[in-house]
Chain A
Amino acid sequence: DADVTQTPRNRITKTGKRIMLECSQTKGHDRMYWYRQDPGLGLQLIYYSFDVKDINKGEISDGYSVSRQAQAKFSLSLESAIPNQTALYFCATMAGATGELFFGEGSRLTVL
């Protein structure tokens, strides 16, 4: 089983719909991240959380919100999806000792 699990893996939705992407981890890491990947743009940070009570905006937080329900769970929401939010979304955890990021399998979102 994957250490960082994302659901759904694929989602097609319509403009204006609310979407939630979920992430859970079994690595026991405090730090969790949501990234967005677009071709040629690398990985852009949306939100990050250092623990349940510490949530911070990343480079591209507009149009997104997050919830850290527990140490192991970090959800990303699009309140009203728009087509330019079509992308591949990755959740990641960070090992505190090494700074290494562990990524989930990704959630591919298409907004029509």
Chain B
Amino acid sequence: GQQVMQIPQYQHVQEGEDFTTYCNSSTTLSNIQWYKQRPGGHPVFLIQLVKSGEVKKQKRLTFQFGEAKKNSSLHITATQTTDVGTYFCAGGFWGAGNMLTFGGGTRLMVKP
């Protein structure tokens, strides 16, 4: 089946350091979405990328979609304790309707 691999699984950073999580697919994606799940919470939509090479920013968060539409990244500049949580990517595949395949998530822990 279609898979989306996400690394790293865990990341500990000192507050103020940067953080990046990566997603990869062996096949071309139609789109990719990113979600954040706070500890004890539910996933919340952050953004969707559709175009090849697309870059979008939300304050300290930068999202990229690769030129081949097989990979994506989420970069957080100068992490804060409020960034703590698990970040998931979810890839859409051509011919699969609006079905999304989730990566395993990256759990971010921030030391104050």
Contacts and interface: CB of A to CB of B under 8 A. Distances in A.
A103 B42 contact: yes
B20 interface: no
Interface stretch (A15-23, A61-69, A75-83, A94-102): A94-102
A48 B42 CA distance: 18
Contacts of B42: 90, 103-106
Interface stretch (B66-74, B75-83, B99-107): B99-107
Interface residues of B, number: 24
Nearest to B104: A42
A105 B6 CA distance: 24
Given A31-B98, A59-B1, A90-B42, A98 B48 contact: yes
A70 interface: no
Interface of B: 1, 6, 9, 31, 33, 35, 41-45, 48, 88, 90, 92, 97-105
Given A50-B97, A99-B98, 19 more contacts: A31-B98, A40-B9, A40-B104, A40-B105, A43-B90, A48-B99, A90-B42, A90-B43, A94-B98, A98-B48, A99-B92, A100-B33, A101-B35, A101-B43, A101-B45, A101-B100, A102-B45, A104-B42, A106-B42
